[in-house]
Every structure is written in structure tokens, then in C-alpha cells.
Structure 1
Amino acid sequence: MSHSFVISHKGTKREFNIDNTTTLGQLRAQIRDVFGVDPNNQKLFRGGLIDNDQDTPVASIIPHKSRVVLMGTVTSELEHLHAREALRQTAQQNHERYKATSSDIWRTPTMGSLGRDNTQHTFHAFETLELPEKQRALDLLHKLSKDEGVRQIMGTRQYSVGTLRELHPLERNILGYNRNRGEVIALRLRTDDLEGFRRYESVRDVLMHELAHMVWDEHDERFHRLNRELCKEVVELNWQLRGQRVGGQAPRVYEPPRPEDAGLVDGGSLGSAGFVLGGKAPSQGEGDGQNSSPDSHRDLAYKAWEKRSRKN
């Protein structure tokens, strides 16, 4: 004799038809095939939690034509959650491992010996963190300083930056800052879990944002106009890219964040008393990682902007 009932999961309903010999364990296997929820993660409710032995006949605990609610995370979602949790744990372990260095994180400034980098309008020193792959971080700072578009901007606009610095990864709420209009520019180079480095173009985008603070402190229309100009010039002034095409397309001009997203980068220019817009001034090694979830609003919003820029 056929025995039927409906199981609903997250708004999706499915009718199940079984015979009187079907056990609860067999039903859970069918549920896995239909909804993708592993039997170990299934919670069945009908008035209360159905928590019988796996060999119990389903017909004896779920009446004919009744309705059952299934709660449980589907396998793909669960794997994603486990992956994110593993990432968080790795990041936390790295934070704890590297936090001990936070009181002495800055290397002796590396003075420029890069040809034209010794001119007046350039970056005059480089500082990286005492973390693994610090040479790679230093190479990235040098690459930014040697980027032809960046060099042209520094020269034509007569910008002089005392120190180009790597921002400590524990400073999760910002991607960079400009202190005292060029005394120090700091950029976050590493990924959230400290296992790798952010894309070069993304770091250069933030550098353009910070160079706009060489002139304007607040994120007003004057700042946004200059930021847009710099993002355009960093490509147009790079003679190494002129005429080149990648995959038949001209090099992309990176767009700055929208005005409403500008605060996701640094909150405003940094002066001796802190951020002009009222934010807290970052200090060397500041932060304990407790509020550094990858799901923070600032990180998610910036990643959304970064994703939009890649589509341009």
C-alpha cells in the first residue's frame, strides 16, 4: 500500500511515496537525493523533532497525507561554510603568529636606488612588514614606484612621498592611508588570510586614491574629480602600455570607487590628529583581529566595487 506525505525545505515542497516497509534511514537517503541535505544534517519536524531509530518504519511515525518540515544545510552550502571557517581559522592563526611582531614591524627604510626614483618627485623610502615573503612585498612597492604611469603622475603633478609603506594586515578596516599629504602612504598588500598578495591593479587603484589625498583631504567632489583623473592618467601616461592590446582589447582604465564607496578605502586623509573625517588614525601594528571578519561591511563593499571595476 502506498504511503505518501509532503516534505518542505526552505520553501520547496516535494511529495514522497513509500511503502510500509520503508525505514527512516532509507527515507533520509531519499531526502539527500532530493534536497541535497546529508542525513547527518537532517532534522525532521512534525509537531516535534522526529528522532527515531533509523530502522523505524516511516509509516509508523509519519501519517499518510501529512506534512513534514526539513531543516538542514545542503551539502554544497555546508562545504562552502566549512571552507570559509577554515579560512577564518587560518587567518586567526596567522594573526596570532604574527601579532608578536607588531611592536617592531617596520624595517629600516629602503632608500630608493631605482634610477629616476632618486629625483625629488618620487617615493623616497620603502618600508615592509617583518612577515613571510617580505622581499615580495618590497618588490611590489618598488614595482609601484617604477610603474611608468605612476612615475609620470609623480613628476607632472610634482608629488613627493616620504615613505611608501606596507599596511599591517591586522588593520582590516582600511586599505590604505595618506598621512600629512605625503609624509607616509601605506597600502594593504596582503590578502585577508595573509597567505597571499592582492592583485597589483587593485593595490595601484588604492595608491591613486591616496595620491588624490596629496591635494584634497575630504572625500568631496574636488577629491573625486582628481581621483578619476589619476585613475585615467596612470594608464594613459604609461608609454609601455600605449598601443598594446590584450586579447584584441585596449588596456582597461581602472575606475575609482563611487563617491559613496570612497570611505571604504581609507576614511579620509590622515593628519597628525587622525583622520580628517573623524576616523581613528591607524598605528603601527594596531588591531587584534577580533573585528576582522571577511564578512565585514567594508570588505564586502570594497570587493563589490573591485568586482564591478573588473567588468569595465
Structure 2
Amino acid sequence: MQSKTPSIHLTFTHRGATHPLSLLPESTLAYLQERLEELTAVPQENQKLLYKGKKTLGPDATISDAGLKDGMKVQLIGPTAEELGGLKATESEHQRKERILRERAQRAPVKVRSTGPSSSTDSQYTFHRIEPLPHLPNPESARNLLTKLANDPAIRHVMRKHQFSVGVLTELAPHEQPHLLGLNVNAGQAIKLRLRTDRYDGFRLFTEVRRVLCHELTHNVWGDHDNNFKELNSTLNKEVAEFERAQAAGAHQLGGGGFGPPQSALEAEAQEYALGGSYTLGGPGASSPGDSPEERRRKVLEATMNRLRKEEEELEDRCGTAGHP
């Protein structure tokens, strides 16, 4: 009489929750992923397992081949389907990018929402948790700044429009990651922002941190700082400026304007600044007394585009998302 193969007892942890699981040694990794999705709601393609002696194998390999042994504790990392904005777990990367491109192509005017009861999209496309770092000074002030960012009307507008969902909005400690201004973990599982000054004697300007937030929100869609990323990031910044300009003017609709059809999203963003006449007297782009209005605007636009490019280069250099494991 053959003896029954003993089961392997494993303990999986995800977001502080513990999930015990018993499997046969010949169970496949694909079967394990199915069970983990049932337990945690983390889609299979977004699951990452961390344990000692891990071996990278295909889904048809057994859990024994993968180095999982009886009594092991395994950490599961990955966003849930809800945090991914309701995307179906079976949606392929190609389908996801095609959907994003279709949404971006829709440029119909958007009405500025009046204050009133929040809709279902407000609860879906939002920051689901706010978490300052409790071991840093003045955590309540950090919470207030994070809450202000999360509730900023322009940020809420772009999150609804582009269907962004973020699990946790939190902060980066300057002494732990002094070079970074922002980090997006697992395409929206968490966004971490540099809120404080190097000496912990205050907080960075709201507008500066919000610009970093727009940069990190772009990483919900694009991982690397390629042309796709740059286009969407410029679009988000333009939409934030456009939304605020419409609110300030009491307009009922958001739309284009200025110099006519823009050559690029970055140029369109620069036009938002140029129309407001934001340039430094005597600095690059400053006009001469004999310049025509068109020439003055051209110089302001050129100077503003150069400044925006430099700002984006600094943000890319101080962003920890691209290539982050």
C-alpha cells in the first residue's frame, strides 16, 4: 500500500494579513497563483512572491521545484484588482495600452463639476488611504499636506478623467532616500512623495509636490521615462493648469485656447504659462521694447518650454519609479 504524499504547509502574508495554505508538492505554480488570487484579490500577473531560496520557473513548474518547502513563510507583493482601477485580471498589457490610447484620443470638453454629493467614480478613482510616516516630526502636518493633495480639485479631476486609482498616498523620508522626490510602487499600489525639507524644519511648496504627484501618477500607466510617458505627463500638467484657470474664470467648460493647435503636449502646457505672462524681467525670454505682441509671446513660450524641460529632467532624475523592482 502506497503512503499518501504529505502536504506542504505554507503561510502567505499580504498587507499585514496572514493566509495559511496547504498544497501537494506536485501542485503547479499556476494553481498556487489561482489560490492566492482567491485569497487576496491580487491578479495572477501582478503577484510577486518573496521567500528564501526562490527559483524563477514557469507556471507549469511544481511548487517543490520552485523551492517552496513545508513551514515556509512567503511574502506576497502586488496591488489588488480594486487598486488597479477595476481592470480585469485577464486584461493583457497590449489591451491595456490600447485602451489608454483610445481614452487619450477622446478630447471632448469636460464640464467643471459643481460641489455636491460624491459620485461612484469619486470613490473608485482616488487615493484609498493616506499614511504619513509616524516616526518623523509633525506627522499630523504631513497628513494635512497629503490630504490637501488628495483632495485637490484639479488632481481629482485628472484622476477621474484618466481612471487613476492609488492604494496608498504616503511620504518619503529625506534621510532614507535623500535623492528621491517621488516613487510609484507597482503602478499605483502606493505613491510616495518627498514632503519635507532636508533639515526637517518645514515642508516643500504645495505646487512643487503636486507637480511630482502628477509625474508619479503618470507611472500608473507608463513605467519608463519614454516618449509615451512624457506625452501623458505633459498632458496631466496641462489639464491641471487648464482646470484651475477655468475655475478661476468661473467657466463652465474646459477647452483649448491660446495659440491654436499645439505642436506637442509640452508646448500646450507652456502656452498655459505664457498666456499668463509668467516670465522673469530681464531673464531669458524677456521682451525688448520694440517687440510686437506676437514676438513677446514667442519669446515667453520658448523660455517657458526650456524651463519646463529642465524641471522634467530633474524630476526624472529624482524619480525612483523607472526600473524599480
Q: Which has the larger radius of gyration?
A: 1
TM-score (norm 2): 0.43
